[in-house]
């Protein structure tokens, strides 16, 4: 995966949008509420797709945590989870991240729950 596949927000941008400190952002990543992307170029950040406008301002994409937890339980590393989210899945006919942002988390999670290797 390349940075061309997604737009990244810097740590500072994410903290500003969410109104949190960097240590809280790190906790959200550890808790799988958010996921961090890292590229060979050294660029790091949070995919723009997973910070959404909610009723009370910017927030993490709802239900992403459940999907990331299912993938981790299936043995996926964070890097593999990120690649899966941004790769078109035949069962969905689109990228899982697109289905999640459209509110189809049940379908995404059904597929994710069958991926254990």
DSSP label of 93: T
Count Cα neighbours of 44 within 13 Å in the Cβ-side half-sphere: 7
Residue 94 — pLDDT band, cuts 50, 70, 90?
very high
The better pLDDT of the pair 74, 1 is held by 74
Amino acid 37: pLDDT = 92
Amino acid 2: pLDDT = 45
Structure tokens at 40: 């060979």
* Beta-ladder partners of 51: 60
Amino acid 6: pLDDT = 83
Instruction: Look up the pTM and report it.
Output: 0.88
What is the number of other CB atoms lying within 10 angstroms of the CB of residue 73?
A: 12
Amino acid 117: pLDDT = 55
51, 64, 63: which is closest to 16 by C-alpha?
51
Cβ burial, residue 90 (10 Å; 0-12/13-18/19+): exposed
2-55 pLDDT, tens digit per residue, is 445 788 999 999 999 999 999 999 999 999 999 999 866 787 899 999 999 989
The domain segmentation of the chain, as residue ranges, is 3-112
């Amino acid at each position: 995966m390349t940075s061309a596949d997604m737009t990244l927000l810097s740590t500072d941008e994410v903290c500003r949008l969410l109104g949190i400190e960097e240590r809280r952002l790190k906790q959200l990543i550890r808790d799988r509420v958010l996921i961090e992307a890292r590229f060979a170029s050294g660029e790091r950040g949070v995919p723009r797709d997973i910070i959404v406008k909610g009723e009370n301002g910017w927030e993490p994409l709802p239900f992403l945590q459940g999907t990331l937890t299912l993938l981790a339980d299936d043995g996926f590393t964070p890097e593999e989870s990120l690649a899966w989210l941004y790769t078109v899945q035949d069962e969905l006919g689109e990228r899982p991240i697109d289905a999640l942002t459209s509110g189809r988390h049940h379908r995404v999670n059904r597929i994710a729950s069958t991926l254990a290797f």
